[in-house]
Amino acid sequence: MLQMKKDWHWLKRISLAIVLTNVLIGIMTGLLIWWDLFDDLLNNFLFAHVMYTTLGVLNTLLIVWLFLKVDKKSPWLLGFQFTKRDFLFSCISIFVTLCTALVFIWLADQSGIVNATYHFNQIFTLDFYKLLVIASIGWFFAALKEEVLARGYFMANLNQFSIPKAIFISSILFMALHFIMGDFDPFKAASWLKGGIVYAYIYVKSGSLTVATIVHAAHNHINDLIIHGNDGALVLLASKIATSDKLIYEFALFVLLLGLTYLVYGRNGVFTPAPNLKTLWGKKEDPKIDAIKLQSRGNMSTQN
């Protein structure tokens, strides 16, 4: 009985994190409505990204405090390091995301799915880079709050499950969080689930929430620049692209980022977590990997 009670503590902690997150979002939304600023959130580029940053910082601090006070562990254990390999992976991921978005929108334009107008001359203007910096900061902190919650906190409390199951459960929860904050669309749901799996896998293999945040933020930002036609966009569309069509791009990117993650981080096994997360989650080495390592050591000893 005692063991069964202990096994459900993860659900209580995750539920508390979800409730507190939505309470914070509700308070901020209520304040914006009370101060008659909610329309500015939808129509004012600068104000929207200031709010993304503010909510991102507050929500991140909330989850960090929860991990410290409820889980009784240092938040740094969640993994915020950023190595040279992480930097290289982040740069390649951003490049892959940008190229995938451009190829998709070009193919959609050529096939008549959308009517696109290209404004690449903007990259030679100072205003473009001002908007780029503002949006980069806003999207980074918007993604950080989700990564600290859905990847960091959720997966730390799903350590009794196998890595594949923890990735899937955290991704389902990540998708559900978006249902709470927005409308239900099966194609958007598939996109959020896909995103949750990719960012979780990047986190598992890199051991860094910073890396997952950068890839997540870059995806959102590039979508604004290429797919959604928001302020400062490089591509403007005559009509909004259907979520069902956009899912083709999302799936292609899903495959590419998973492959890239394994190529850069996965040499020690498909689901073997980074050393810092293996320690945090109390995960033991895969028996098959152990056997391979022992066999390799035995062969080396024989050769010597």
Is residue 95 in a domain?
yes
Inside any domain, residue 89 = yes
Average pLDDT of the chain, as a whole number: 90
* pTM, entire model: 0.90
pLDDT band, residue 295 (cuts 50/70/90)? low
Question: Are 187 and 247 spatial neighbours (Cβ–Cβ below 8 Å)?
Answer: yes
Residue 57 Ramachandran class (φ > 0 left, ψ -120 to 50 alpha, else beta):
alpha
* Residue at token pair 């956009």: 246
Which of 150-154, 159-163, 207-211, 297-301 has the lowest average pLDDT? 297-301
Residue 146 forms part of a structural domain: yes
Task: Let me know if residue 153 belongs to a domain.
Answer: yes
> Is the pLDDT assigned to residue 281 strictly greater than 90?
yes
Q: Assess whether pLDDT exceeds 80 at residue 282.
A: yes
7: pLDDT confidence band, cut at 50, 70 and 90?
Answer: low
Using pLDDT thresholds of 50, 70 and 90, give the confidence band for residue 267.
confident
d(CA 39, CA 48): 10
Domain count, the chain: 1
Residue 113 lies in a domain: yes
Rg of the chain over all Cα atoms, to the nearest angstrom: 21
| Mean local confidence (pLDDT), 247-268 | 95
Residue 301 is assigned to a structural domain of this protein: no
Question: Which residue range forms the structural domain that includes residue 92?
Answer: 76-284
Q: How many residues does the chain have?
A: 304
In a domain, 93, yes or no: yes
Q: How many Å apart are CA 119 and CA 230, to the nearest integer?
A: 12
Within-domain flag for 165: yes
| Nearest Cα to Cα of residue 264 among 208, 196, 200, 206 | 206
Supply the pLDDT for residue 290.
Answer: 44
